[in-house]
């Protein structure tokens, strides 16, 4: 309702020892399998995308994930999405395979060497997400064998844009599940049991 008159809110001085709140990931919305899928999507119109350059050393990529509290980064050249790199990519077998195959030191491995390139990424259309439930998202992640899924829409010029991200870890947290393993198969077994898949 639009009022004819608005009174100012009371104001006081900021205390000398004032602090500030930061986002608390444990306060995310609790969901069920039949909750709207958008409730578990990280919306990039509300949260800035966690991005990284292809030439970043993987130890810096790992630190960036830790700093942002995420398990994946969108790889860009500043204009375009080139791929995605996950904590599993950085900490799993891929770096050792690069070391053995290319004969380089671990410290020389960059994001480009271990990321999943854009042309190998499956995406979900936002319009489909808007009509889906959390259970559909879990089934999609399980089918793909990935812990993350990208959601896309289009800008005014018709260019495909990443609009959001689904994360198995985030979904589990919002379902109230404590994951006991980073292993993809067991993660989905635990989430699937919770949502009845």
Is the model's pLDDT at 37 over the cut of 90?
Answer: yes
At residue 50 the predicted structure's pLDDT band, cuts being 50, 70 and 90, is very high
Is the model's pLDDT at 188 over the cut of 60?
Answer: no
- Residue 4, pLDDT score: 77
- Residue 28, pLDDT score: 65
pLDDT, tens only, 88-102: 999 999 999 999 999
Give 110 or 195, the one with higher predicted confidence. Answer: 110
Is the model's pLDDT at 137 over the cut of 60?
Answer: yes
Rounded Cα distance between 30 and 60, Å, is 33
Rounded Cα distance between 46 and 29, Å, is 15
Is the model's pLDDT at 185 over the cut of 60?
Answer: no
- Residue 182, pLDDT score: 53
DSSP structural state of residue 118: G
Is the model's pLDDT at 110 over the cut of 70?
Answer: yes
- Residue 124, pLDDT score: 93
- How many residues does this entry show for the chain? 197
Residue 165 · residue 150 · CB < 8 Å: yes
Is the model's pLDDT at 191 over the cut of 60?
Answer: yes
- Residue 98, pLDDT score: 94
- Residue 32, pLDDT score: 86
Q: What is the pTM of this model?
A: 0.77
- Domains of the chain are 32-195 (3.10.580.10)
- Residue 144, pLDDT score: 84
- Separation of CA 135 from chain center: 18
Is the model's pLDDT at 55 over the cut of 90?
Answer: yes
Q: What's the mean pLDDT in 61-87?
A: 92
Structure tokens at 49: 């995308």
- Residue 173, pLDDT score: 87
Q: In 27-93, where does DSSP find H-type helix? A: 58-68, 87-91
Residue 177 · residue 140 · CB < 8 Å: no
Q: What's the mean pLDDT in 27-47?
A: 87
Across 11-15, 67-71, 192-196, the highest mean pLDDT is recorded for 67-71
Rounded Cα distance between 150 and 189, Å, is 21
């Amino acid at each position: 309702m639009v009022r004819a008159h608005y009174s100012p809110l009371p104001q006081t001085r900021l205390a000398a020892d004032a602090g500030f709140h930061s986002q608390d990931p444990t306060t995310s919305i609790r969901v069920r399998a039949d909750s709207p899928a958008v409730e578990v999507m990280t919306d990039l119109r509300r949260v800035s995308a966690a991005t990284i350059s292809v030439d970043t050393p993987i130890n810096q990529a790992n630190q960036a994930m830790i700093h942002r509290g995420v398990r994946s980064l969108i790889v860009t050249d500043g204009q375009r999405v080139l791929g995605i790199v996950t904590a599993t990519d950085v900490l799993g077998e891929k770096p050792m395979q690069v070391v053995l195959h290319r004969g380089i030191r671990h410290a020389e491995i960059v994001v480009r060497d271990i990321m999943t390139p854009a042309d190998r990424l499956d995406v979900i259309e936002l319009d489909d997400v808007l009509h889906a439930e959390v259970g559909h998202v879990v089934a999609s992640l399980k089918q793909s064998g990935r812990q993350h899924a990208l959601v896309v829409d289009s800008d005014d010029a018709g260019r495909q844009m990443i609009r959001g991200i689904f994360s198995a870890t985030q979904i589990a947290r919002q379902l109230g599940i404590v994951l006991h393993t980073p292993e993809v198969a067991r993660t989905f077994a635990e989430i699937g049991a919770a949502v009845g898949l």
